[in-house]
A = this chain, B = another copy of it.
Amino acid sequence: MKYKATSFDIAYKAGVSQSTVSRALRNSPLVNEETRHKIHAIAKELNYKVDKNASNLRSQHTGTLALLLFEDPTMDDSLINPFFLSMLGSITRAAAKKGYDLLISFQQLSDDWHADYEDASKADGIILLGYGDYLDYEEKLEKLYEQGTHFVRYGSVAENQPGVSFGCDNYQGGYMATQHLIKLGRKDFIFLGGASDNSPEFRARYQGYCQALKEAGLRIRDNAQLDAISTEESGYQAAQQAFEQKIKFDAVICASDLIAIGGIRAIKAHGLTIPTDVSIVGFDDIPIAHFANPPLTTIQQNTRLAGEMLVDALINLIHNLEVKASLTPATLIVRESCGSEQT
């Protein structure tokens, strides 16, 4: 490893004090224009980079944001939800744009909270992205909140949640998806996905779904909501159940794309054709949706916007500015899994 230049080396070469070098490099207005230029030139020549550890230690902040991805331990390692990967990408970009480093950490929901705290001490703030059971998750949020840690999270947005939350307008998304199928003349709906306190995002989608049905004067059958978590297999099982219970349907609204992909498999397995016999719509717009067979109509979450909002909000929080929860719009992406108008 090459010798690493320090601010003293620069000071010596420039014939000024180390304090002045430090100020010049941070572009303090306190330093003479000319000296500053000279110092910058020497720094460049020497390949000088400020030592982050030293500057962070001294100024008591890290310039780093931590991204915690909570995983449900029941999930298969290899099949991390593509939606979260997409969020990860947009958060990384957003953080970089603001000059923050991003520390990434995958955790099991079951890990004890000391691990979170550990991460908290390495970063100025935390971004939480979780899946799995919300009720387990909430405990962690409360711990973090008590600790006075700066954090934002992406997921369901509701009253009485610890900390600041951002999320997609799930209710509106569920509503739009359902309305779209209603317009297409569909009458018998089922909903694939959990709708309990354990998955508040899914529940909001379900509520939007119910609202659309209600407004159209269509019945909401009690047995037509089948639980599923966000995996292909679980979606398959849920649809399978609908068949076993002999629930008649020509329209299926899914709480996620992965669920929809599984649903499609089950529907095809029963010899039905999509969208002729049944229309189906997903949620998220993960890349796979586009390549499903048939291509899946879905509700798109704006991950790019979400990433920026999360990062901006967290930085504001760190600077003790006020930040409030907000929703990102949901967009209907029409593809071929719904068919076109019919009567």
User: A269 CA to B304 CA in the complex, in Å?
Assistant: 32
Known contacts A57-B51, A117-B47, A291-B293; A104/B92 CB under 8 A: yes
**Residue A49 is within 8 A (CB to CB) of chain B in the complex:** yes
**A interface majority secondary structure:** helix
Contact: A121 with B49, CB < 8 Å?
A: yes
Partner of A53, one of B57, B78, B80, B147: B57
Q: A2, A47, A52 — which one has the most chain B CB atoms within 10 A of its CB? A: A52
Q: How far is the CB of A59 from chain B (nearest CB, A)?
A: 10
Contact A287 B82 (CB under 8 A): yes
Q: Which residues of chain B have C-beta atoms less than 8 A from A57's C-beta?
A: 51, 53-54, 57
Contacts of A56 in B (CB 8 A): 53
Tell me the bound Cα distance from A56 to B261 in angstroms.
47
The answer to whether B304 and A78 touch across the interface, beta carbons within 8 angstroms, is: yes
- A53→B47 contact, CB < 8 A: no
For residue A147, which residue of chain B has the nearest CB?
Answer: B2
> Given A82-B82, A121-B49, A291-B292 in contact, is the A103-B102 Cβ separation under 8 Å?
yes
In the assembled complex, A333 has its CB within 8 A of some CB on chain B = no
B residues within 8 A CB of A101?
103, 105, 122
A89, CB-defined interface residue at 8 Å: yes
Pick the contact of A104: B54, B104, B148 (CB < 8 A): B104
When C-beta atoms are compared, the residue in chain B nearest to A264 turns out to be B291
How many Å lie between the Cα of A106 and that of B89 in the bound state? 9
